[in-house]
Structures are given as C-alpha cells and as structure tokens.
Amino acid sequence: MTELPLDAYYDLTQVGEVAVSPSGDRVAFTATEYDPETDEPVGSLFVAPADGGREPHRLTRVSGASAPAWSPDGDRLAFLAARDGDTERRVGRDEADDDDEADDETEAAGDAGNGDDEPTPQVWVFDLALGGDATQATDFEEGAEEFDWGPDGDRLVVAARDPTDAERAYLDGRKDGKPVETERLQHKLDGVGYTDTVRTYLHVVDADTGEAERLDDTYGAGAYQGLSGLQPAWGANDRIAFTSCREAEPDDTLVRDVFTVAPDGTGLRKLTDGDLSANTPVWSPDGERLAFLGGDPVNWCIPTQVYLYEDGEYASLTADLDRTVARGGAPAWADDDTLYCLVADEARTRLVRVAASFDAAPDAAERVFEAQGDGRAMGAFDLSADGARAGFVFSHPSDGQDVFAVDAADLDAADLDAADGADAESLTRLSETNAALTDEYAMPEARRIEWDSDGESISGVLYHDPDVDPADGDHPLVVAIHGGPISYDEPVFSFDHAALTSRGYLVLRPNYRGGSSYGREFAEALKGQWGTHEVTDIANGVADVVERGWVDDERVFGYGFSYGGIAQGFLVTQEPDLFAAAAPEHGIYDLRSAYGTDDSHVWMENEYGLPWENPEAIDASSAITDAGNIETPLLVAAGAEDWRCPPGQSEQLYVAAKKQGVEARLVLYENEHHDIGTPDRAVHRLEELTAWYERHDPAVENPDAADPHGRADDE
C-alpha cells in the first residue's frame, strides 16, 4: 500500500456551511483550505447551481468567509469576513466629500473600521445579479459577530460588541499588555480568552447605506455568551428573535431564553421561562410561529429537542424520539406546518421530519431519507424558502466530504439505487473538493461492528485500508476515542484515519456508554462517574477485535482528544496492559484542580457538585489519583491556551509518568486553544503520533528511527 504523505494535509479541503437560495436554484457553501505559506486555514465561499450543471464558482480567495446567507430576493449573498475595507463605499461616507477627504477615507479603509492593522469581521455582500466584488455592509469597531436579513431585503440585523468609553480604555490597555481585571465569575472562555464586561447588542443596519441603530434591550449575557452568540433571526412578521440569559447570576447558569423585539427596539418579549438552554430560533415562513432548540440547562444527558412557540406557549416536538439534535442540526422549515432537523440516531446523523403542531401524534418526528444509507454522515442541512430543494453535506470515508442537493420530494426515498422507483433520482453531487487526494491515494473503507460489554451491546466503526482484509489477522490497531462524552462516531471522511490506515493500522472508534445518539439512559450511564463504563466498553471493544483474529494484542495503540484524552487517562491507569503506547490529547486528569482553571465550572457543578462538597466522587473520577499504575508509554499533548482542558492538566499526567520512569513525551502547542488550528501543527501532531506508535511497536526492528527529531525522550 502507498502511505498517505502527512504533508498532503495542506491539500485537504473541509466543507462547512451550506445555504440554499430562496428559489432553490443555487447552493452556497464554505470550504476551509490550508495555506502553506502563511500556515493558516482559509475559509472560502462558493456557489454552485443546484442541478450540478457546472462546477462550483469560487467567490472569495482571501481573508476567510463564513455564515453565507441569501437575501430574500435571492439576488444577493451576504457573509462574514475580515477583509480589507471597501474603498468604494464606506459607512457614513458623503459622496460630496472633496478629493482630500476621499483620499483619507480610502487610506483608512484597510483597517475595516477598527483602527488597527488587522481588519475585524464585517458583513459583506455580493450582488450576484449585477456581478462584481463584494461590498462592505457594516463597519463595527469591534467587528460583526452574526447577522440575518430582514424580510424586505433592505435591512440586516447584526450582532456586534459595543464598549463604553471606560471599557474601550480597558480593551486598549489589554492590547498594550496591561493586566487582566475582572469581577466576572465566567472569567475565561476557550477560544475567546479572558472575558470582560463589554456587551454584544443587536443593531439594525441599512443594507445600502450601512447606517446602524442599536437595539438597547437586546444585549447578550450568560456564561457562554462569547461562544453561543445572540443568534438573531428576523421573521416575516417583522419581529427579531434572539437568545440571551437574564438570570440573576448569568455567569452561573446554562439557562438561555428566547426573546423577540421589534426592529425599532420596542416591545421586548421573553418567550421562554428559564427552564431551557435555548438556541437557534427559526421563524416559520409566515412569521406566526417560532421553532428553536432546547436543551436541559442542568443535565446535558437529556436530549436536545426541537421546540415550537405559538400563541404564548411552547413545547417540545421531539421529546418522544429520545434522540438529541445533532451538532449544527438547526431546524429548517419546509412550510408553515413542517420542519426538518438532523438528529443523532444510533451512531448516525440522520434527517427527521417533524409536524409543527402541538396536537401532532407522539411519533410526529419521522425518520426520513433512508437513501442516505448507513455508511456516511450527513450535515449542514438547509432548505430553499419554498421548501422544494434541500442542500447538505455528505461525508464518506473513501469518497470525501462534499455538497449535495436533492428535491425535497425525494427525501422519502429509501434507496439511491432502488429498482422499484423509490430511489432519490434528483440527488445531485455539487462538489468534489478532495478529488485530488482521493484519486491519488487510497482512502479507508469502514464497517460498523458491535460487541458485548457487561451485557450491553456497544457499537463502533472500524476503518482499514481497502487493500487490507481485517480477517487476515495480526494487524496493529489504533483506538481513537471521541470527545464529549456527549458525542458519537459514524463513518466519515478523515485525513487522520487515512494517514493511519495507509500505514497498515486498523482504526477503531468505539461508541462507549456515556455518549449520545442512543438516548438519555445510554448517555446518563457515565453521568457523575467518569472512568467507569467507558473504560469497560473500550477495553471490551479491543478484546473483541483481538478475539476475531483481526488484531495483534501486542500492537494496540490509542489516542483521544478532549474527553477522548480523559478516557485515555483512565485506560492507562486502570488497564495498564491494554496499549503498547497511548496519546492522551488535550484532556483533564485531575478534576479538583481543573475547577476554576478551566472554563467549565457550571458543567462541573452540574455533573459532580462543588469540589468542597463532593470531593470523594471528584477524586474517584480523576485519573491522576491512580497514576501509580501507569506503565504505558505516553505521548501527552496540550494547547497552551486551552481553557476547556488547561495545559497544566497534561503537565500533571506527564510528570506523574516520568516520575515513575515511564517513557513519556510532552507536546505543548503554544497559542493553541482546545483544538489544532494551523496546518503545520496538524501535520506535526500526526508526525508525533505515528512516530510514537512506531517507536513502541514490537514489530518495528529499529524503533529509535521513528523519533521525528532523531532523539530519545530522555536526551
């Protein structure tokens, strides 16, 4: 087999958001590419005809692009980007200015309104009827965060921070290295940094002139406001919906409520009663009803559900489904009576159709589009305004990740190739973003497997090179553990998987108890008792593939990110003979010391209570308390600015291993949060993983040669 070069990561493209035009004739989407010269991910915006009549047309190349949204007439496409300023029309510019004033305006344009060298994100608009480059629609000093079109297409509602004079002085001081000063309980957020008191408000912006009016009652608040946003949605009834937290101590709760307001800022209404963590409001086409997602603000094991608000009342439409809405699975209205939504269903992201009525039958949420099959994941679903055409992303292990369109009438199709005519004839592939990779290198095949664990049936996805038959036996295995733990694994296109399978590894991704997609009871199995069922389920999964004769039990390796890293910590302290080498990444191993140093104090209290109130349970769920059992060589990785799983946690685990003479290596990515954000670091991570496994593989004759830097770990 031909190994996939790790630096081929720079050729990878990852599809993100999808937006179907109002008439359903075009699909806009974003795709992240990687620039090797600047070592940055760049989001680009594309448009493709929904009938697949031509290749997608690239609209942007630089400065990134996100959140595409069509105007109601379908002639304009707005998006967020931090680009150089629009020199042709600046907000507030007087066309009668003399040449000197115009020159001054043009010179300032490169700052996009923030007065600094780096532009801030603003709303930009392509006029696809007239052509030409995008024009800048907003000019907020702190940048635009979110937006939606008004129903007339003449205005936008935009979320943007608006500091007071004192707050501006503080922000300027922070840029100059002055100290953090705060009295907020939620004093930090991963990816945001140290928090402040600057409020984000909604503003109504004239799409032509850029003039903006702040709606004073629409400010954001809440522990995770800096991550969740206000999520504005402007309905046909000319009211704007948004989410916020107005509890007495907003930093000490996950409660979020849905509000509506008139576009002149009057008539604020609170639609929900503080019993939900509400998000993603979406108006019905007639503007009479509002759908939104609601999770439990205390128990995240309770599935997130689709709610309907109508005539002063709201209720769940999917409670009887016992399945959580998939990540990014915003509801989409097909008509005034019907919604579609993506849910997590038995380790599969799939589409459900929901009757938008309080009087609907308990089974009103109906699983549809069986034509998706069982071997690929679905995401980023959107519908045209008339509900006739859908756009979405399919991710397939060997075929890539791409944008598709289908007539909504075919969403009842059972099979793509059915002989009885029940196939999705209109299903059209609109992109082939990774054709260069999939054509040149063999991508993995995947199969679903199941095993018994303490009487429970546990599933997983096994990836392998297409030229490898697992039944041939004695293969090396990498156990890749998902995060969350409220999450799940399904067959997807992944560069990591391909890099490993092309080097001869089988890759097992177990769906352990504590994850989602199998209902509340399955998720709650791990609540408040980390380091129990998931350890059993993962270890039994390894035993199962060994017993099948597929895997050499001396050549089993592991990695896991976030909760996957946490689970790795439990596995190497409770099952010290399981792995030949392991790589816990960006995890937490001491819950007591994590409290207050991470950004998750509310989650911790919801799960375990406070450290001084329930120390025994917290210590029992901390792998560091059993660190004396570690025998497995550890490659421990962390982000230096990871506030979700602070780097000190990884340092504790690393030192605990080294102190006992266990081989260990620490990799700390400076300026990184709870992810790996740059292509150089993504490649470096894979180099470290593969080298670590080879170094501790009993089948490798010269393991020292596997060190990516040519040094032993003790040197």
pLDDT digits (tens, 9 = 90+) for 470-497: 999 899 999 999 999 999 999 999 999 9
Residue 469, helix vs strand vs coil = coil
pLDDT for position 86 = 55
Q: How far is CA 620 from the centre of its chain?
A: 30
Distances (CA, A) of 184 to 175, 330, 433: 20, 31, 44
Peptide bond into 41 cis (omega under 30): no
Asked whether the predicted pLDDT for residue 142 surpasses 50, the reply is yes
pLDDT of 425:
85
Query: Is pLDDT at 106 greater than 70 in this prediction?
Result: no
pLDDT at residue number 37:
87
Distance CA 209, CA 347 (A): 48
CB 223 within 8 A of CB 643: no
Distance (Å, whole) CA 489 – CA 511? 6
pLDDT tens digit string along 434-453? 999 999 999 999 999 999 99
The CA dihedral of 58, 59, 64, 70, to the nearest 10 degrees, is: -120
Strands 305-310 and 290-295: antiparallel
Q: Is the pLDDT of residue 323 over 60?
A: yes
Residues sharing a CB contact under 8 Å with residue 95, sequence separation 6 or more, in sequence order = none
Quick check: 709 pLDDT over 70?
no
pLDDT beyond 70 at 460: yes
Give pLDDT, residue 97.
41
Stretch 127-146: mean pLDDT:
95
Q: Which residue has the tokens 């490898």?
A: 468
Query: What's the mean pLDDT in 521-538?
Result: 97
CA-based R_g, the chain, Å: 26
Q: What is the mean pLDDT of residues 217-229?
A: 96
pLDDT at 115 over 80: no
Find the mean pLDDT for residues 604-620: 95
Give every CB contact of residue 192 below 8 A, 6+ residues apart in sequence.
Answer: 226, 227
Q: Tally helices (H) and strands (E) across the chain.
A: 13, 38
- Considering the entire predicted model, what is its pTM? 0.93
Q: What is the pLDDT of residues 647-704, one digit of tens each?
A: 999 999 999 999 999 999 999 999 999 988 899 999 999 999 999 999 999 999 876 6
pLDDT above 70 (res 581): yes
Q: Is the pLDDT of residue 77 over 70?
A: yes
Alpha carbon 542 to its chain's center: 28
pLDDT at 473: 87
The whole-number pLDDT of residue 118 equals 84
Given the structure tokens 């490649």, which residue do they identify?
683
67 pLDDT tier (thresholds 50, 70, 90): very high
Reported as a single tens digit per residue, the pLDDT across 424-433 is 789 999 999 9
Q: How far does Cα 310 stand from its chain's mean position? A: 30
Long-range contacts of 176-179 (CB under 8 A, 24+ apart): none
pLDDT of residue 85: 65
Give 132's DSSP letter: S
- Residues of the chain with pLDDT > 90: what percent? 87
pLDDT reported for residue 667? 98
């009803």: which residue's tokens? 289
Please state, in angstroms and rounded to a whole number, the distance separating the CA atoms of residues 366 and 635.
Answer: 45
- 295 pLDDT higher than 80: yes
- The Cα 704–Cα 713 span in angstroms is 10
Written as six digits, the tokens of 38 are: 């600047």
Per-residue confidence (pLDDT) for residue 359, from 0 to 100: 83
For the chain, list the domains and their CATH numbers.
442-706 (3.40.50.1820)
Split at pLDDT 50, 70, 90, the class of 112 is very low
Report d(CA 636, CA 669) in Å as an integer: 11
What is the mean pLDDT of the segment spanning 201-230? Answer: 97
CA dist., res. 2 & res. 8, Å (int): 13
Please state the three-class secondary structure of 175-200 as a single string. Answer: HCCCCCCCCCCCCEECCCEECCCCCE
Confidence band for 420, pLDDT divided at 50, 70 and 90: very low
**Distance separating alpha carbons of residues 422 and 557, to the nearest angstrom:** 44
Q: What are the distances in angstroms from CA 702 to CA 2, 639, 682?
A: 21, 31, 26
**With 50 as the cut, is the pLDDT of residue 92 above it?**
no
86 or 92, which is more confident: 86
377: its two tokens: 């994941």
645 Cβ contact list (under 8 Å, min separation 6) = 562, 565, 566, 586, 587, 588, 594, 598, 638, 674
End-to-end CA distance of the chain: 34
Extract the tokens encoding 272. 């929900």
The reported pLDDT for the residue numbered 361 is 62
Higher-pLDDT residue of 170 and 424 is 170
- 260 with 283: CB under 8 angstroms? no
pLDDT band at 422 (very low <50, low <70, confident <90, very high): very low
708 pLDDT more than 90: no
* pLDDT given for residue 304 in this prediction: 97
CB atoms closer than 10 angstroms to residue 544? 20
pLDDT at residue number 417: 54
Amino acid type, 256: R
Cβ-based neighbours of 273, under 8 Å, separated by 6 or more: 257
The confidence score (pLDDT) of residue 63 equals: 75
Distance CA 198, CA 186 (A): 13
Taking the C-alpha atoms of residue 391 and residue 397, their distance in angstroms, rounded to an integer, is 20
Rounded Cα distance between 425 and 431, Å, is 18
Q: How far apart are CA 155 and CA 68, in angstroms?
A: 16
pLDDT reading at 456 higher than 80: yes
pLDDT value, residue 702: 74
Read off φ and ψ for residue 369, nearest 5 degrees. 55, 55
The 10s digit of each residue's pLDDT in 230-276 is 999 999 999 999 999 999 999 999 999 999 999 999 999 999 999 99
Mean pLDDT of 187-198: 96
Written as six digits, the tokens of 257 are 């409520």
Task: Return the DSSP state at 557.
Answer: E
pLDDT interval class at 107 (50, 70, 90): very low
Q: pLDDT tens for residues 14-39? A: 999 999 999 999 999 999 999 888 89
Query: Is pLDDT above 70 for 102?
Result: no
Q: What is the pLDDT of residue 26?
A: 98
- The confidence score (pLDDT) of residue 610 equals 96
Determine the angle formed by the axes of helices 533-547 and 563-574, rounding to 10 degrees: 70
Cβ atoms of 229 and 145 closer than 8 Å: yes
Output the six-digit token pair for 197: 């008191």
Give CA–CA dist 423/108, Å, rounded.
56
- Output the furthest CA–CA distance in the chain (Å, rounded): 82
Please tell me the distance from the alpha carbon of residue 347 to that of residue 150, in angstroms, as a whole number.
Answer: 38
Residue 98 has pLDDT above 50, yes or no: no
